[in-house]
Structure 1
Amino acid sequence: MIDFVLSPSMLMMPRKLPHSAWLGHIPFASWLLDVQRPQHIVELGTHNGASFLALCQAVEAQQISSRVFAVDTWQGDEHAGFYGDEIYAELRDYQQRHYAGISEMMRMRFDQALEYFADGSIDLLHIDGLHTYEAVREDFETWRKKLSPRAVVLFHDSCVRERGFGVWQYWSEISTEYPSFEFSHTHGLGVLLVGQEQPEALLRLARASRNGEFASINQLFDSLGRNIKNVEEIERVNSALTAAHGEIGRLNEECARFRALLDKNTDVSDEHYTLIEAQLPALAQGLSLLERRVIDGMNDMRLALDESREASVNNVVASVVPRMEEQDRKLNHLLRPWWRRAIGR
């Protein structure tokens, strides 16, 4: 039996939810900060900021005297894909408005950032840059001297074995040299206890992993993480619903205006009128399919929420259900009856 104490920090719900594979690890990251209380946190590879913003929020919520540094070129790579300045600009704007006092975004290469950190100063290092074996090894070995006596290093995507990802390979080597444990959900997260001065709570998890008793802890944080991923999915569905509502409304207005024009315009030949009139059922059918996709998406989200409630002690996702019901009401209001009658509904 693992001696593991639950903490309210595990239930932190992120204020901002960028689409990311990291969302499922936010409950553990928040718990980790509560246990470790790091003073200097450095993230190598940030992209749209899911982990960076979660770490900032946890520092603020738990009133930790810490600074969070995000190091990235914000240009992308072969694994994350390449992108323009819009991702950096959006994240920078949010960071400046909410976490300017406790965090810093350093737009540079990882090796360029080394000189800004003293040896032995970093308590928590998150490695999430290019995911090849060579790149991950270089990141760890280059930054090793910057780690403090109580340092913890996180390796994301430790379970991915495709597209040239090599984190798993380096993790299999380095995890035998230090106390460690690994989460298998959300593409994997390796937790390496590098420093000699570790909290007993982390050492217990490392012992549990070594003794084959870590499955229940993995399942717990997986369940908590799924709640966050479900909420993010619902937010994306709501965004798509808003766009769909706008498109449905626009098409309805266009069709109604066009039908009125046809009814009043005597200059339109019977042949053209018949040809145009024949297109209306096809348009109506398209609207019907759009409506069906919207409704199916909402139903899928409800099922995910139900499963999440059964699997986890965290019920914070319940707060989004009223928003989905409001979308139902808007959908019924916007879908006008004339095109339903056109296809016999």
Structure 2
Amino acid sequence: MDPAGARADYRLAKQARALGAMQKWRELAPLIGMLRNRRLATVVEIGTARGGTLWLWCRLADPHALIVSIDLDTEAALRAYGGPQQIVRLLSRDSHSAATRQSLVDILERRSIDLLVIDGDHTYEGVKQDFEMYSPLVPDGGLVLFHDIVRPAHLESCRVDVFWGEIKQHHRYYEIKERSGGRGSEQWGGFGVLVQGSPGR
């Protein structure tokens, strides 16, 4: 990427952090570079928290995109993050509920998901259930994004890395991890990107 493009990605990553994104900006920036030239007409995020990444997906998605957030405690004010012609829908519900999935299907109105972000329940069982429930809505060539594929040293219950290690064997995938790696409390984060329908490498 040209230096100007890289600087723009870093600025966008830092803005997302300032708005509450809980990911490392040094990992967000290369992710932005990966997504910037993809057509994102429909984005679904499981686990929105403070809304920094929801704001980011709105910036990266198509001008007429549908962006859906699924989180137990989503602030209604986050709807304002969408562009003037984007549709932002907030489902303040448990992603593991069959009723929540059906609500999403109703909202999608036969659209497929271009980018599915899984960053909610970080237990092994939780992340696996989110993947199994929602990834069938992503067509071949679509992306499924996982956060926290590096096990946090300070959070024993986080097992995204275990599920990631299993599922990536069956797909083409990319990993984005801060090069310094970090130790102790700094050891966390990392993005895993699956390409739906593609064989493992």
Query: Which of the five TM-score ranges fits, normalised by the shorter chain?
Result: 0.7 to 0.9
Please report the RMSD computed on the Cα atoms of aligned residues, expressed in angstroms: 2.8
Query: What is the CA distance between 1:50 and its match in structure 2?
Result: 1.5
Contact 2:44/2:115 (<8 A) preserved: yes
Contact 1:30/1:55 (<8 A) preserved: no
- Distance 1:18-1:159 versus aligned 2 partners, 3 A rule: same
Q: Distance in 1 between matches of 2:50 and 2:21?
A: 8
Q: 1:155 aligns with which of 136, 139, 146?
A: 146
- Distance 1:148-1:12 versus aligned 2 partners, 3 A rule: farther
Q: Distance in 2 between matches of 1:139 and 1:15?
A: 24
Q: 1:172 aligns with which of 153, 165, 169?
A: 165
Give the secondary structure class of the aligned counterpart of 1:188: strand
**What runs of 5+ residues in structure 1 fail to find an aligned partner?**
75-87, 197-205, 211-345
Q: Distance in 2 between matches of 1:29 and 1:96?
A: 23
Which residue is 1:132 aligned to? 123
- Distance 1:104-1:29 versus aligned 2 partners, 3 A rule: farther
**What runs of 5+ residues in structure 2 fail to find an aligned partner?**
179-187
* Percent of aligned positions that are identical: 23
Task: From the two aligned structures, give the one with the greater helix fraction.
Answer: 1
Alignment of 1:46 onto 2:48 = yes
Cα offsets for 1:105-156 (capped at 9, x unmatched)? 2212213332232567111000001100011111101112211222101110
Contact 1:29/1:55 (<8 A) preserved: no
Q: Distance in 2 between matches of 1:69 and 1:187?
A: 23
Which residue is 2:9 aligned to? 10
Task: From the two aligned structures, give the one with the greater strand fraction.
Answer: 2
Alignment of 1:114 onto 2:105 = no
Which residue is 1:73 aligned to? 72
Q: Distance in 2 between matches of 1:173 and 1:142?
A: 17
Cα offsets for 1:31-79 (capped at 9, x unmatched)? 23322212110000111011111111223xxx544221111111xxxxx
Q: Distance in 2 between matches of 1:147 and 1:72?
A: 19
Q: Distance in 1 between matches of 2:121 and 2:197?
A: 24
Q: Distance in 1 between matches of 2:194 and 2:17?
A: 27
- Distance 1:120-1:149 versus aligned 2 partners, 3 A rule: farther
Q: Which amino acid aligns with 1:150?
A: G
Q: Distance in 1 between matches of 2:117 and 2:83?
A: 18
Q: Which amino acid aligns with 1:113?
A: T
Q: How many residues align?
A: 177
- Distance 1:130-1:57 versus aligned 2 partners, 3 A rule: same
Q: 2:196 aligns with which of 176, 194, 197?
A: 194
Give the secondary structure class of the aligned counterpart of 2:55: helix
Which residue is 2:89 aligned to? 104
Q: Distance in 2 between matches of 1:97 and 1:10?
A: 18
Contact 2:119/2:147 (<8 A) preserved: yes
Report 1:129-278 matches (<5 A): 129-161=120-152, 162-185=155-178, 187-196=189-198
- Distance 1:98-1:65 versus aligned 2 partners, 3 A rule: closer
Which residue is 1:325 aligned to? none
Q: Distance in 2 between matches of 1:96 and 1:126?
A: 20
In our comparison, the structure showing a higher alpha carbon Rg is 1
Which residue is 2:23 aligned to? 22
TM-score (norm 2): 0.75
TM-score (norm 1): 0.46
Contact 2:64/2:85 (<8 A) preserved: no
Cα offsets for 1:301-320 (capped at 9, x unmatched)? xxxxxxxxxxxxxxxxxxxx
Contact 1:152/1:195 (<8 A) preserved: no
Q: Which amino acid aligns with 1:104?
A: R
